Amino acid sequence: MSRRGQIQMSDEEVLAFLDEERVVTCATAGPRGWPHLMPLWYVVRGGTVWAWTFAKSQKVTNLERDPRATLQVEAGRDQYHLLRGVMLETEVTIHRDADRVAELGLEIFRRYTGTTDGELAEEVRATVLKQAAKRVGLEFAERHRATWDHRKLGGVY
């Protein structure tokens, strides 16, 4: 088996990795043709990455012009033998329905705070719902994937 084959992650490993990591870097095609990279908080729904962002952000403008985005999540950067990551080439659907965006915002907030709906303070919930009016949901449909987990090499390169 090739080294590339040895370090690939299975579907289950990818989902577990995305669940434990916290930030995805999103690359879109900027207005001058240069990659525009921005970090996003995200959730995974049915194997698909979702995020929310401000409707007037540069990344949304870029995606309205060209719906392709590349996502990358990585870990273990401090030591090569621990390096692992997922790179997804995606086509993005922008969701503008206020209720759907609010639901997504609450889901993201719950993930990053470790709370449930019942535990969300009403003030916090109101803040998230208020923000939703200015935001959109981003659904990243995977078209191609590359993964790497150097831990699988056992320190032998």
Mean pLDDT is lowest, of 28-32, 40-44, 92-96, 112-116, for: 112-116
Q: Which residue has the higher pLDDT, 155 or 84?
A: 84
pLDDT at 28: 99
pLDDT band at 74 (very low <50, low <70, confident <90, very high): very high
Mean pLDDT is lowest, of 38-47, 90-99, 146-155, for: 146-155
Average pLDDT over residues 62-77: 96
Average pLDDT over residues 6-19: 94
Per-residue model confidence as pLDDT tens digits over 29-57: 999 999 999 999 999 999 999 999 999 99
pTM of this structure: 0.91
Tokens at residue 48, please? 């698909």
Q: Which of 62, 53, 12, 36 is nearest to 135 (CA)?
A: 53
User: Kind of pairing, strands 43-45 and 48-54?
Assistant: antiparallel
Backbone angles phi, psi at 49, to 5 degrees: -80, 135
pLDDT band at 117 (very low <50, low <70, confident <90, very high): low
pLDDT band at 95 (very low <50, low <70, confident <90, very high): very high
Backbone angles phi, psi at 112, to 5 degrees: -85, -15
Q: Which domains does the chain have, with CATH numbers?
A: 3-152 (2.30.110.10)
pLDDT at 70: 99
